[in-house]
Structure 1
Amino acid sequence: MDIHHFLALPHRFRWGGVGGDDCMTFPASWALRCVGIDPAEDLRGTYRARDEAHAIVERYGGELAFMDGHLLKIGAKRVQHPETGDIGLIRAMTGETAADRIEAKIGAIRFGPLWVCIHPAGIRATPAEHVAAWRLPA
């Protein structure tokens, strides 16, 4: 699937990745569209709130270990120089209101020089520093 077509689809924020996506299932949905395998299949529907999502990620040893484990099992490879369509773990400001905004590590999809992620207000493309990036199998 083309990244433009994927981003044009209706997207909505939902913790747990059922009926929408959160910051970690959003790039997993992209992987599903591209390679036909959902790296988040084992997690979808198992949580419904931020604290539950964070507890799952911590059980894996943090965001990097969480994403690495899920993406490597579908054949994704780590890359140093991400290109459009690659999945990344980025540093970004999160929170639904200005009062609860914090810097966090979230999943995103490379789109030109930007990273696209999902937020309660919808899809956002933003410049960001990536912690790690993965290229999906062809």
Structure 2
Amino acid sequence: MIKIINYIRMHFLVLILGLHGILAILMTGTALKWYSILGYVAFFSLGFNYLRLGSYILFIIWSFISISYLPQVILYGDVSSGMIASLFETNANEALEYLKEIPLYIYIIAICYLYFSCYILYTASNILLSNPYIFNNLSSNQIYLF
């Protein structure tokens, strides 16, 4: 029974990772391509098994980068190098004015995204504690079918 539950949780985790990847790609303003989503899912599903702590740290960093660029992408479109350079030239008053102009729904989306990020980390760690090599059983065909 425990193997069946872990099997379902593993496939649910891959689905949630896919949705997380779609949101992360959209939130950073890059083009949404099938191979970028597949690479995201494959990297983190294999990384959770082999890299462990390194993968968790990369996942957290990627989540915070996505959340920080979300208002920029929704309000102004794709992230440009000029927008990133302007972050280094701004002062505290300009930053507060920018944060006040951001609509409330963007913060709600960011909080939901952060919740999904924490859920993925929690689920991945629980699955790996119950069976450390469970992602080895996930064949490449199942990732491609996703």
Larger Rg: 2
Higher relative contact order (CA 8 A, sep 6+): 2
- Higher share in strand: 1
- Higher share in helix: 2
